[in-house]
Amino acid sequence: MALLLCVAAGLAVQQLTPVSEQRVNVLVAARDIPAGTSLIESDFTILGVPADIAASGTLEDTMDLVGRQLATPLGKGQLPTEASLLGPGLLTGTPAGTAAVPLRMADPSSIQLLSPGQLVTVVLTAAGSYDESRQSQVLASPVPVLWTSAQGGKPGEWLGTSDTEGLVVVAANPQQAEKLAGASTQGKLFFVLVNP
């Protein structure tokens, strides 16, 4: 009788215990890391997570991260990916020849409306003289936003200057990049939000 009770108790425990799910080790942010930070090994720690949580594109080796800069902030425990890093990772998934073009908007406060992935039309309003009206022209449309100065980070860590207010980085094809490069010296730049 005692043997039967032990077997029954063992079966009950086995059925109540969840099946152990496969876990993998991944790199996660050890602290909140602002955009623009130059990454070091201690910025990350290893965490065991269920295999289905480890998204494709997740970086697994700290050597893939050390010395690179964040394009977007990482919260504590968040998984780093190529798309969250400055440089080639910022353009991951874009067509060959795509360029990351920095633009300084005429109204820095408008940057608060933008986030990475948002599509915008970039408009140049050329400075006119007193006797002629200002001319506006569309320089590129639609182009996706890659980074904005509103995302935070320590000034100067990304662009080497503390004057990052009003900056937006967009992904542009070669023709658009040619029009956008240096456009802010020809007049004032504005953006229009585009519905995907």
Question: Which domains are assigned to the chain?
Answer: 21-89 (3.90.1210.10), 94-194 (no CATH)
* Mean pLDDT to the nearest integer, 107-131: 85
Whose tokens are 């006119």? That residue is 128
What is each CA distance from 138 to 105, 107, 169, 192, in whole angstroms? 14, 17, 17, 10
pLDDT at 143: 94
Q: pLDDT grade, residue 119 (50/70/90)?
A: very high
Quick check: 24 pLDDT over 90? no
pTM for the whole thing?
0.56
Structure tokens at 162: 């503390």
DSSP type of residue 153: -
Cis peptide upstream of residue 18 (ω within 30 degrees of 0): no
pLDDT at 164: 67
Q: pLDDT grade, residue 135 (50/70/90)?
A: confident
Specify which of 11-15, 37-41, 156-160 reaches the highest per-range mean pLDDT.
37-41
Residues in the chain: 196
Kindly report which listed range (12-21, 25-34, 128-137) carries the lowest average pLDDT score.
12-21
pLDDT at 127: 67
- Average pLDDT value for the chain: 78
CA atoms within 13 A on the CB side of 61: 2
Residue 147 — φ and ψ, nearest 5°? -160, 150
DSSP type of residue 129: -
State how far the Cα of 80 lies from the Cα of 59, in Å rounded to an integer: 6
